[in-house]
Amino acid sequence: MTIKSTILHYTFVLFFSLLVGCGGGGGSEQSSNGDVSNSTSTQSPNTGQDNTNNNNNQGGDTSGDDNSGQDGSDQSGSDQDNGDQSDSTQSDDTFSSKQQVSQFIQQATFGATPAQIVSLHEKSASEWFKAQMEQPASLVLPSVVAAAPDDPDDGFNLFHIEQTSLAFWRNSIAGEDQLRQRMAFALSELLVVSNAGGEVLTDIPEAVAAYQDILIQNAFGNYRSILELVTYSPAMGHYLTYMGSEKGNEQTGRMPDENYARELLQLFTLGIVALNKDGSVQLNSEDAPVELYNNTDITGLARVFTGLNLNEDDPEELINTRFTKPMQIFPESHSEKDKVFLGLTIPAGTGAKASITQALDHIFNHANLAPFVGKQLIQRLVTSNPSPEYISRVVSAFESGVYELPDGSSVGSSGRGDLAATFAAILFDEEARTQAADKGGKIREPILRFTHWARAFNVENIEPQYIPQLWETGATADLGQHPYRSPSVFNYFRPGYKAPGSKSAELGLVAPELQITNASSIPGYINFMTYFVMGQQQEADVDELKEEFDEIGVEFDLQKALQSFRPNYDPLLEIADSPTELVAYLDLLLCAQQLSDQTKQNITTALSKVPSDEDDGLLPRVHLAILMVMSSPDYLVQK
């Protein structure tokens, strides 16, 4: 208990002592750490060796992606091969240093692993990207269906309901398709559906699972295709209340539901003001922003989405299954009036399917779409405040549908809205690949910090069903964020959020993730991470959890419960007698060598005061090192 208290004390002291300088200094110290990757790389191949027996994970994933090529994960096996496969005619130096590998992988996946940093060094990032596109998709719905009660009339089954979350943790941490999973998560924060309401989308987890799979399966597809799949999705139909929307009735005053029409334009595609290709706002002659539409446009578009409801082809089909199928058109409920919006008139009498197609085509081809969507995807992956030039380059890739990779090969279908080309343009852009200036980078989302820890330290036995903390992480006492469970369609944070009274706001910078950062979430995050970093699950009292499993008739494996999410700190223990080496190792692995000299000195000084424990040796020092690094502003701001 004394050791834990000491660790928490140092962690909080460091965090609050550096908080005033949040985000500063990391990039400027880069050159002084030039030999860090070499000095620590000898440790990396030994990490994760215990993960080769972790094939009991669901969803086709293993946590063995750090096993230097022994496992089925996307990074180790494919990373080793990618370097040998490259036959490009141009040189790809994206991974010319271990620091560059760490930085790229942190942006492109749910966290860099030690073996990746070694195996990808001096290999082809272009080949890695293309190989990742070919990885089979790790889906969510199969896990949900497998956990459904045998008797559909059974009552409340929490294990079934939580499968959307449990599958997310498995796929994000150990899925072979890391790039696909990361891109899908970015899309999910733009095209928001949430099961936080405790109603239909909670009770029928198949709905949100099917929606998650839409984004996962189409992460490298076309944005126009996603818009259509989302429009017909029962999860979106229920969430934005247009499922069952009826045509207007002048006698009763009934009007078509306008919710989806409004959010489709405002949040999913165009925004509310006209944009230039570089994301800047167009101004009228009075220097006021040019508004794109008014409520009349919303009313006209709302008529398009009348007549959609759950599929009834098989009246005997379970409602859970019907929520996994595209909504069906009921012509008698569809508005027969003309639909006028954004300068388009869909003639009266046009059927629902044709109306939806014309409406989505018109919106998709609007000039605002590429800069509006492109900028937000940059914000989710690389930086909160991209330059106009960066946005323009990503817009060009989105509109052309093709992007030339550093090795001279290309990705994309050459069709407008191609997401493979768009994501490549975001990740390989010069602004993403250079060390961010003081105004660059982004705050790491809490979810990404946790998955990063799990991947960085090769956690074994990824069995989130045995850890109640992972069933709900949205409270500020935990992560303050939970996948697919945002409080509203506006996500957990808005892309244009400026924290009141902050230095960043004073400089005119947005910091979206600060919207969920407060006096409660800061210690909440540290306490949450302490549980996992210190391996407290391995000493947990699981009797209450066992009772929950027994009550719903699910087999409970005590050993799996106690060993779930067990980290492997062997490489760190080998160098723990040297605080300087320990900090250098973590700097490369977790921060891509962006810890400032001051932060490194503060952590090193604190670590030197932690003696070897009679029972655990230098493990308490390792615990403290990880917590101090992962709660430092230099880590929390990804650059």
Say what the alpha-carbon torsion angle 234, 239, 241, 244 is, to the nearest 10 degrees.
20
Residues with Cβ within 8 Å of residue 412, at least 6 apart in sequence:
397, 400, 401, 402, 403, 418, 420, 421, 424
With 70 as the cut, is the pLDDT of residue 21 above it? no
Per-residue pLDDT tens digits for 362-405:
999 999 999 999 999 999 999 999 999 999 999 999 999 999 99
How far is C-alpha 348 from the geometric centre of its chain's CA atoms? 42
DSSP label at 403?
Answer: E
306/157: higher pLDDT: 306
- The count of other CB atoms within 10 Å of the CB of residue 575 is 20
What rounded mean pLDDT belongs to the chain? Answer: 88
With 50 as the cut, is the pLDDT of residue 74 above it? no
pLDDT band at 63 (very low <50, low <70, confident <90, very high): very low
pLDDT band at 71 (very low <50, low <70, confident <90, very high): very low
pLDDT band at 435 (very low <50, low <70, confident <90, very high): confident
With 80 as the cut, is the pLDDT of residue 3 above it? no
The pLDDT value given to residue 7: 54
273 SS3 class: strand
The pLDDT value given to residue 9: 55
The pLDDT value given to residue 6: 52
**Is the Cα dihedral 430, 434, 436, 441 positive or negative?**
positive
pLDDT band at 90 (very low <50, low <70, confident <90, very high): confident
The pLDDT value given to residue 4: 52
DSSP label at 328?
Answer: E
With 80 as the cut, is the pLDDT of residue 237 above it? yes
With 60 as the cut, is the pLDDT of residue 73 above it? no
Residue tagged 């914000």 (tokens): 379
Residues with Cβ within 8 Å of residue 634, at least 6 apart in sequence:
18, 23, 25, 26, 591, 594, 595, 596, 599
Per-residue pLDDT tens digits for 259-306:
999 999 999 999 999 999 999 999 999 999 999 999 999 999 999 999
- d(CA 515, CA 275) in angstroms, rounded, equals 24
C-alpha count within 13 angstroms, C-beta hemisphere, residue 408: 6
270/56: higher pLDDT: 270
The pLDDT value given to residue 33: 40
- d(CA 219, CA 215) in angstroms, rounded, equals 6
pLDDT band at 457 (very low <50, low <70, confident <90, very high): very high
- d(CA 184, CA 404) in angstroms, rounded, equals 22
440/228: higher pLDDT: 228
From start to end of 394-522, where are the E strands?
403-404, 410-411, 442-443
C-alpha count within 13 angstroms, C-beta hemisphere, residue 114: 28
Q: What token pair was written down for 324? A: 């996994």
Per-residue pLDDT tens digits for 540-571:
888 888 988 888 788 899 999 999 999 999 99
Three-class HEC string of 149-166: CCCCCCCCCHHHHCHHHH
With 50 as the cut, is the pLDDT of residue 247 above it? yes
With contact defined as beta carbons under 8 Å apart, do 464 and 140 qualify? no
Q: What token pair was written down for 91? A: 């040189």
- The count of other CB atoms within 10 Å of the CB of residue 8 is 17
The pLDDT value given to residue 10: 53
The pLDDT value given to residue 13: 53
The pLDDT value given to residue 197: 84
Which has the minimum average pLDDT: 69-78, 440-449, 467-476? Answer: 69-78
Smallest Cα–Cα separation from 201: which of 329, 320, 327, 326?
Answer: 320
The pLDDT value given to residue 81: 39
Smallest Cα–Cα separation from 633: which of 483, 496, 550, 525?
Answer: 525
Listing DSSP states for 340-377 in one string gives: EETTEEEPTT--HHHHHHHHHHHHHTSTTHHHHHHHHH
Q: 3-state SS of the chain: helix, strand, coil percent to 5?
A: 50, 5, 45
**What is the value of pTM for the model shown?**
0.88
With 90 as the cut, is the pLDDT of residue 78 above it? no
Q: What token pair was written down for 564? A: 């779930």
**φ/ψ of residue 433, rounded to 5:** -90, -15
**φ/ψ of residue 460, rounded to 5:** -100, 155
**Is the Cα dihedral 331, 336, 340, 345 positive or negative?**
positive
